[in-house]
A and B are shown apart, each in its own frame.
Chain A
């Protein structure tokens, strides 16, 4: 019994420690954002941010697009299989358009970015810790949060919503292609129907989610990197932890946002 209580207590303290570290790091990185802005900030940090944007955003686009196209086809086909029975095949368009804009676009993008960039952030910072590069930065009077984390943070905050919008477009286009082949619905008419079914609120909600997901991925990935102690094996463990924890927290945040959206929207 004592062991069980000890374990629960230890896990709780670890959890509090993790959330505390995450909060402190998030606060420090928000304070550092001014340094990475163009014109008013440090030009070297802004250059680093642009490099990060290319890596997190541009290089991830083919993968995100492919995932969105596949998910668009899956959603359209699964929806059509059921809705056809009720003679409501045209509702597939609503399902794909609203489903992607509100939910699937931001979530799929976050999962792709978490697996691709969250792990990379953790591995990069973890390696810097193991090789004492973080210590070198500190003794050179650089703030590691501003130098390493802030460019990644601003890059993700900008490119993840952009990727999310592109993911929405790809998923919705996949739905259009499905409708064209299954019902011979022209692409022009499909797009008009899509624009009619989605509302600005859905797009804004998706974008807000994307910004939150971006923040979670960067903060968790970087924290796992900064917490690396030991050798290369610790870097490997931190990379896995970064992906697992950020994917879990993204899903949790998505559930919270969706609940808020559901409760606040007038039915």
Chain B
């Protein structure tokens, strides 16, 4: 059963097409990785899945609610079933770690303060930050901030958990820890997880399925093995880390040649 359905999604900025008629079904309980290089449209797609922007055409259905046309009230209801850990963690600097995690619990539930406290301690303990509850975000390392963001995204036990570039800017060990945390959360809570990344090792470690995005279109959507064995030239280039062929074989040399020619013309 699809939790999220993307149908003919078209997004344009200033007449430039960023996403071109995308179609994707994300099944309940799977980890779907949106993989792609810089500028492929991953973050734009994510913003539309979260209902942060409205597309030119097409639909995004989250739990059968079309968030591109629904009312603000319906959108709020859908959003309460989603938890999002942004790339930059986006913790509120004026709040302590425990207040950051407690925020959605205090505001969206009628739980007693003692229960909220208990749940916050539990969530922070699971992400390995139990001892740091009283600290503020600016006192934490990058990896700790990302884990705190996961704890906050997970606070309301959402049905859908979304990660934007979870391993970006982290060392390989911390990134691997975060991958394991995502797998544990998915296994323990049976959530649908969407991960936007360009990190191949992370994608192949955690994904059930991968959607490979390139210049606003899906090149392939399939299991890890299907993507790994794909013969599509761009997927192969991405997986094998081959640079784009440059028309100019030696750009530095030709730049200096052009520069000297300009100087000669001026003199």
**Which chain B positions have C-beta within 8 A of A138?**
52, 79
Given A44-B107, A131-B88, residue A139 in contact with residue B76 (CB < 8 A) = no
**Which chain A positions have C-beta within 8 A of B107?**
42, 44, 142
For chain B, residues 104 to 136, give those with C-beta under 8 angstroms from any C-beta of chain A.
Answer: 104, 106-108
Cα separation A42 to B107 with both chains bound (whole Å): 9
Closest to A138 in B: B52
For residue A263, CB closer than 8 A to chain B, the reply is: no
Decide: B52 and A139 in contact? CB cutoff 8 A. yes
For residue A136, CB closer than 8 A to chain B, the reply is: yes
Could you tell me the distance in whole angstroms from the C-beta of A87 to the nearest C-beta in chain B?
A: 59
1/0 per residue, CB under 8 A from B, across A112-139: the answer is 0000000000000000000111011011
Given A139-B52, A139-B79, residue A132 in contact with residue B103 (CB < 8 A) = no
Given A44-B106, A132-B86, residue A140 in contact with residue B79 (CB < 8 A) = yes
Given A44-B106, A44-B107, A131-B90, residue A141 in contact with residue B84 (CB < 8 A) = no
Interface residues on B, range: 20 to 34
**Which chain A positions have C-beta within 8 A of B77?**
141
**Which chain B positions have C-beta within 8 A of A135?**
47, 50, 52, 86, 90
**Which chain A positions have C-beta within 8 A of B87?**
132
Could you tell me the distance in whole angstroms from the C-beta of B148 to the nearest C-beta in chain A?
A: 12
Closest to B92 in A: A133
For chain B, residues 51 to 101, give those with C-beta under 8 angstroms from any C-beta of chain A.
Answer: 51-52, 76-77, 79-80, 82, 84, 86-88, 90, 92
Cα separation A95 to B192 with both chains bound (whole Å): 71
Decide: B52 and A141 in contact? CB cutoff 8 A. no
Decide: A141 and B108 in contact? CB cutoff 8 A. yes
- A contacts with B, residue count (CB < 8 A): 12
Closest to A42 in B: B107
Neighbour of B76 across the interface among A42, A132, A133, A141, CB < 8 A: A141
Decide: A132 and B80 in contact? CB cutoff 8 A. no
1/0 per residue, CB under 8 A from A, across B177-196: the answer is 00000000000000000000
Decide: B108 and A139 in contact? CB cutoff 8 A. no
Given A44-B106, A44-B107, A133-B92, residue A141 in contact with residue B80 (CB < 8 A) = yes
Decide: A136 and B90 in contact? CB cutoff 8 A. yes
**Which chain A positions have C-beta within 8 A of B88?**
131-132
Given A44-B106, A44-B107, residue A139 in contact with residue B84 (CB < 8 A) = yes
Enumerate chain B interface residues (CB-CB to A < 8 A): 47, 50-52, 76-77, 79-80, 82, 84, 86-88, 90, 92, 103-104, 106-108
User: What are some 11 contacts across the A-B interface (CB < 8 A)?
Assistant: A131-B88, A132-B87, A132-B90, A133-B92, A135-B47, A135-B50, A135-B52, A138-B52, A138-B79, A139-B52, A141-B77
| Known A135-B47, A136-B90; further 18 A-B contacts with Cβ < 8 A | A44-B106, A44-B107, A131-B90, A133-B90, A135-B86, A135-B90, A136-B84, A136-B86, A138-B52, A138-B79, A139-B51, A139-B52, A139-B82, A140-B103, A140-B104, A141-B79, A141-B80, A142-B107
